[in-house]
Structures are given as structure tokens and as C-alpha cells.
Structure 1
Amino acid sequence: MQDLRRQLRKQRRQLNHFQQQQSEKQVFHRLIRSPKFQSAQHIGMYLHAFGEIQTKLIIDYALSKHKKIYLPMICNMNQHLVWVRISRNQYQNKRFSMHRLGMQEPMQSRGLHVSKLDLLLMPLLACDYSGTRLGMGGGFYDRTLASAKFKPYRLGLAHTFQLTNIPILRKKWDQPLDELTTPTKSLRFKR
């Protein structure tokens, strides 16, 4: 699994600016037609940092539609994610701090539990055709979702090459996706 993670991280980082923009636009156009996205009012998402599908267009659009956007922040006590609501002003002025793992986080110290979200847009390294998600390896999303009584609709965003025909071994703590959106297709999975 470590070799697959290493290979996919490298492949993501090698995408040039034009390829990243094209993927972002194509995923964005698929996503905004999704009934789950259209009806969601409380949306958790990520700020791209490691070659994931970029989220700028999605965040700008969601804020323009008066949806409430929440970004993850790692809680040092239990290594779960909490979700901090951001404002348009905060987002546009990039008022974030850098976490030691290399991603930006909101600067507030309090956040909501994941069960308060309607929709969770998730980054990933790979996803198979059963909805098993391979993350970066820290287990933050899996731990956080495992602790939720109400689980938001989980929608992964991925480059086309991140959808794999090779089944990913799903461990009992792994939290599968409900849906995956790539530049070329959207897939729904049975949970």
C-alpha cells in the first residue's frame, strides 16, 4: 500500500498548472449539477495542498450561493478533524495558518463535529469501484467519520488516474465514499 501511495503522490505532484486547472474545471461542472451538492447547506471541504483536485472554484461558487463552508482543522487532543466555518472575507484574504503536516488550516480554535455537515468533499490518493478510499495515510478522515452518529454524504474528488480497477483492501475502520467525482465521470457507491 505504501508503494501505491508513493506512486500516486508523485503522479499528482507532476501535474502541471494547466492540467490542474482543467481537472478543477471539469470536476466543478460535474459537482455543481449533483443533487447532493445543490441541496447541501453545510459543506466540509479541504484547501488543496498536495496536488489534489483544486477547490477554489467550488469554494467561490458555494459561498456565492450562500452555502456555509467549513474547513478541517486537526484537533491535537484526539487527532480527529473539527470543521471550522470560514467567511468569504477570510477565504479571499487567505487568513489561515500552516499546519506542521503542510496544509493550511483556519486559525480559530473551535470547530464543529463532522456530524453537523450535510456534505463532506474529501481528498484522496485513490478510490476503487466499490468506494474504498485510500487517503494520505494519517487516518484523520477515517477516525473522524468513525466517531460520527450522523455521517454526512461523503463525496471524493479525484483526478481520473486516481480511480483504480485494483480493489483496495478495506479495513474495518476505513470509511468508504458515497460518491466519487472525477473530470470524466461521477460514480455512486452503496454504503
Structure 2
Amino acid sequence: MKALRQTLRQQRRNIAPFDRIRLAKNILSQVQKVIHFHSRQKVAIYLPNDGEIDPKYIQDFVNLLKTNTYLPILAGKSLQFAKIGKNFRKNRFGILEPVSTQILKAKQMNIIFMPLVGFDKHKNRMGMGGGFYDRTLAFKKNQQKFKNPKIYGLAFDCQRLEVGKISVQDWDVPLDKIITPSKVY
């Protein structure tokens, strides 16, 4: 699994800068096919790291609708979500996080977009291996009554495993959809 994760991470890092911009714009059009945003929603995105697809155009679009946007912040071994403001600091992984803003739990979010390392045709996902999103969203796995948040994985098409299946653990939280620049799974 470690070797596969490294291979997939390298594939996404190898995408040329011009292609990254084009593909990030394309993912917005795919997102718009399946999600109808409105101003009262709380939407979590992420800041791209390690070659992840950039949700910048999704963020720009939801900001035009006056939707509240949040970023994940580390809270021990889980995540909380901080409203995007003007002040940021780097967490222990070197990723910027908002400071001095409203902080919400995952249960309070309407939509969470998360980055992926890889995925298969069954919508099984592979993350970076830290389990932060799975611990944060464990309540969705154990109780079917939670309609929100909707969880959408964002990835480049090259991150899909064409052959084989990603092994699923008991603690893995399934995604509602996986969205790439060319397709919605």
C-alpha cells in the first residue's frame, strides 16, 4: 500500500502547471453538475498540498454565492473546520490554517471537499495515510441518520486505479461522490 501511495502521489505531482490550471477549472464544471450551492451552506475546501488538485475555482464560485467557506484545521488526531479569514499559520505538516475565525465540527458542515491520493471504480479512496478525515467523519459511518455533511473527494483522473481495488478498512468512511476533471463517480 505504501508503494502504491507513493506512485500515485508522484503521478499527481508530475502534472504540468498549465495542465493543473486547466484541470482545476474543469473540476468546477463537474462539481456544478451534481451540487446546487446556496448562500446558507457551510462548505469546506482545502489548500492544495503535495500535488493535490486545486479547489480554487470551486472556492471562487461558492464565494460569489456568498456561501461560507471553511478549511480543515488539525485538532489532535482529527480535524475541525475554520472559516476562511485573513490570518493563517502553518500546522505541524506545513499546511496553512486559518486563525482567529469561527471553528465548526464536521457535523455542522453541509459539504466537505477532500483531496485524495487515489481511488478505484468502487469509490474506495486512499488518503495520505494519517486517518484525519476518517476519524473526523466516523460519526457518518456509525449512524445513518446524518445526511450532512455530503463528502466529495476531488482528484485528477490519473489517480484512478484502472486495475485492482483499494483495500477498505473498517474505519474508512465512504464518500458520497468522487469528482475528477472529466467524470463524477
Percentage of pairs with the same residue? 35
Structure 2: gaps of 5 or more residues:
none
Structure 1: gaps of 5 or more residues:
none
Residue 172 of structure 1 corresponds to which residue in structure 2? 170
Residue 58 of structure 2 corresponds to which residue in structure 1? 58
Instruction: Report if aligned partners of 2:73, 2:80 keep a CA contact under 8 Å in 1.
Output: yes
1:116-135 to 2 correspondence within 5 Å? 116-135=108-127
Normalised TM-score (structure 1): 0.87
1:1-191 to 2 correspondence within 5 Å? 1-34=1-34, 36-39=35-38, 41-76=41-76, 79-87=77-85, 90=86, 95-108=87-100, 111-147=103-139, 150=146, 151-165=148-162, 166-187=164-185
Instruction: Report if aligned partners of 1:44, 1:69 keep a CA contact under 8 Å in 2.
Output: yes
Partner Cα distance (1:61, 1:29) in 2: 10
Partner Cα distance (2:100, 2:129) in 1: 25
Normalised TM-score (structure 2): 0.89
The one-letter code of the counterpart of 1:125 is V
Partner Cα distance (1:131, 1:117) in 2: 21
3-state DSSP of counterpart to 2:103: coil
Q: 1:72 offset after TM fit, Å?
A: 0.3
Q: 1:16 offset after TM fit, Å?
A: 1.6
Instruction: Report if aligned partners of 1:121, 1:155 keep a CA contact under 8 Å in 2.
Output: yes
Q: 1:113 offset after TM fit, Å?
A: 0.8
Partner Cα distance (1:133, 1:102) in 2: 23
Partner Cα distance (2:80, 2:36) in 1: 21
Instruction: Report if aligned partners of 2:118, 2:127 keep a CA contact under 8 Å in 1.
Output: yes
The one-letter code of the counterpart of 2:112 is L
Deviations 1:44-78 (A, max 9, x none): 111112111101111111111111111100013xx
3-state DSSP of counterpart to 1:185: coil
Instruction: Report if aligned partners of 2:12, 2:158 keep a CA contact under 8 Å in 1.
Output: no
CA RMSD in angstroms, aligned pairs only: 1.7
Partner Cα distance (2:89, 2:17) in 1: 24
Instruction: Report if aligned partners of 2:84, 2:101 keep a CA contact under 8 Å in 1.
Output: no
Deviations 1:79-134 (A, max 9, x none): 110011124xx2xxxx3211121211112376211011111111000111211110
Which consecutive aligned stretches of 4+ in structure 1 deviate over 2 angstroms post-superposition? 36-40, 147-151
How many residue pairs get aligned? The number is 178
Partner Cα distance (1:110, 1:67) in 2: 14
